[in-house]
Structure 1
Amino acid sequence: MTHPSSLAETLDLDVEVLHEYHRDLIDWVASATVDRPRVVDLGAGTGTGAVALARRLPRAEVYAVDVSDEMLAHLRRRADEAGVGDRVHTVRADLDQPWPDLGPADLMWAAASLHHVGDPGRVLGQAHALLRPGGVLAVAELDSFPRFLADPAGAALEERCHAALARMRRERGMHLDADWGALLAGAGFAVEATRRTDLALDPPLPAATGRYALVSLQRMRHGLDGRVGAADLAALDAYAADLDRADLRVRATRTVWLARRP
């Protein structure tokens, strides 16, 4: 088994394979803000949200915040390639530490980032303070990580492996099971809408699906040593070595909360 590919590649492949979902989500969120917004992307990663919002909102100024210099460099290249580099500004900051001056903001975007923070309530309180009255925060979180294997043995293997990783994340204090609606309300937001999407892609699939499955399974395999049996690890290695197959699929669930500062 090779070393797992970078998180940056995983994030970029997610957008490439699930492009219709991401496009529709960005359109929905962008429609909730003003014509010339100041946008802050919390935990921007490779810039999926920051760049897409800059393209969708041609009068926006976007501030992409992440703790990783590597991610911010990747994001900068991506923004320049998309022709929005003059309106996308990178800010290095740890969301669990005092924030630099990022506001006031009209729209804030947090996609699959808030479950990593130590104290979600405190971070949401900071976001509330940063927004102008009437400003919007969109929180997009993962209900489940993607599943790719369609045959019964492979599907059962994926479920066992994902269950083991879910236990590990809970042990490490991650917040994938958080009630974001309640947390948003507790921070003073009015939750205007909740959108849950069950993603189901069947063949014919986007060309990048095989690579997306490979990178995802490799990353999963990297965290499973000592958490599942040797037979499951060997089976996972075998699947990852044979992803040029006709029975791949993509299954995932995402939920987005759209909340406004009164």
Structure 2
Amino acid sequence: MAHTHEHPVHHDESGQAEILDLDAEVLAEHMASITAWLPLKSRPRHIVDLGCGTGAGTFALLERFPDARVTAVDASVGYLRILHEKACARGVEGRVRTVQADLDTDHWPDLGTPDLVWASASMHHMADPGRALRRVRDVLAPGGLFALVELAGFPRFLPAHAPASRPGLEERAHAAIESLHAEHVPHRGADWGPMLTAAGFTVEDERTITVNIQGEPGGAISRYAYSSLQRIRGVAAPALSPEDLAALDELLDAGGPDSLLRRADLVVRTERTVWAARRA
């Protein structure tokens, strides 16, 4: 693993890293329920976490399977450094190997023959998902399982009537970024079942988890909403009306009376779908 000072996390990445960490904290129970549900034939010894980010899946899997080791793969050196630091802090660095790799290339690094490959919210970023899925099939051990987890979209936090000055603001902000994502990330929200079948997998099971978690003012959900809407603002700003933008800025004014960090009506609302597949 590279030394910390050689690879600082870029500003944009550090904002995204914070969202990934908050997502892991807020949705820990849901993540645990997914790892418990996996239709495994035996306890995995070697797991590959593709597009591991800052480690939400890696640590959930290490906890669920105390005898397993995880190869955590990501394109971002910054994310891998954060993951490595967390592994050291938890005393599990001996069970984690980090691999920096661009999974959009034809030449994947040697990932061994894992019993379980896990890809959470990473496959939709692939330029050629079909090729990536075929590569997953090739590295899986015979009888091994591929768990593909995807989000229905960005979580929602505000009630429909909020904020009072601009009801429906959050949906309009989401609509603005979703048209952009449709162009740049066309596979987000896709049905991965047919793509898995086309890549040589048999889908054994599929499950959709509905998330609905009430937040406390100033707690993790408030911070998660704040970081998420701050990021959405950065992307959606050109498509929003001046009135919507002003209302969004009031929500994002950390010290203001209408700040997201002070609200008592925030709820994380989202869906995650997981496909469990084996080599056909």
Structure 1 position 86 matched with structure 2 position 94: yes
Q: Deviations over 1:14-40 (max 9, x none)?
A: 1211221112112223x6253342111
Which segment drifts farther, 111-120 or 19-28? Answer: 19-28
C-alpha change, 1:26 and 1:161, in structure 2 (3 Å) is same
CA shift for structure 1 position 56: 1.7
1:212 pairs with 2:221? no
Letter in 2 for 1:253: E
TM-score between both structures, scaled by the size of structure 1: 0.93
For 1:1-150, list aligned pairs within 5 A: 6-29=15-38, 32=40, 34-97=42-105, 98-150=107-159
Look up the SS of the partner of 2:43 in the other structure: coil
| Aligned with 2:172 (options 151, 160, 165) | 160
- Structure 1 position 256 matched with structure 2 position 274: yes
- 2-structure distance, mates of 1:158, 1:151: 8
Cα–Cα, structure 1 residues 62 and 206, in superposed 2: closer, same or farther, change >3 Å? farther
CA distance in 1, matches of 2:211, 2:218: 14
Q: Name the Cα RMSD after superposition.
A: 1.8
Q: TM-score, normalised by structure 2?
A: 0.87
Greater mean alpha carbon deviation, residues 202-211 or residues 108-117: 202-211
Q: CA offset at residue 209 of structure 1?
A: 1.2
Deviations 1:65-112 (A, max 9, x none): 000000000010111122211011000000101201112111000000
Q: Provide the C-alpha distance between the structure 2 equivalents of 1:192 and 1:112, rounded to a whole number of angstroms.
A: 20
Q: Indicate if the aligned counterparts of 1:117 and 1:174 stay in contact, CA closer than 8 A.
A: no
Which deviates the most, 52-61 or 128-137?
52-61
Return the offset for 1:203: 5.0
Structure 2 gap ranges (5+): 1-10, 254-258
C-alpha contact 2:124 2:185 (8 A) present in aligned 1: no
The aligned residue for residue 206 of structure 2 is: 194
Q: How many residue pairs were aligned? A: 259
Q: What is the CA–CA distance in structure 1 between the aligned matches of 2:41 and 2:187, rounded to whole Å?
A: 27
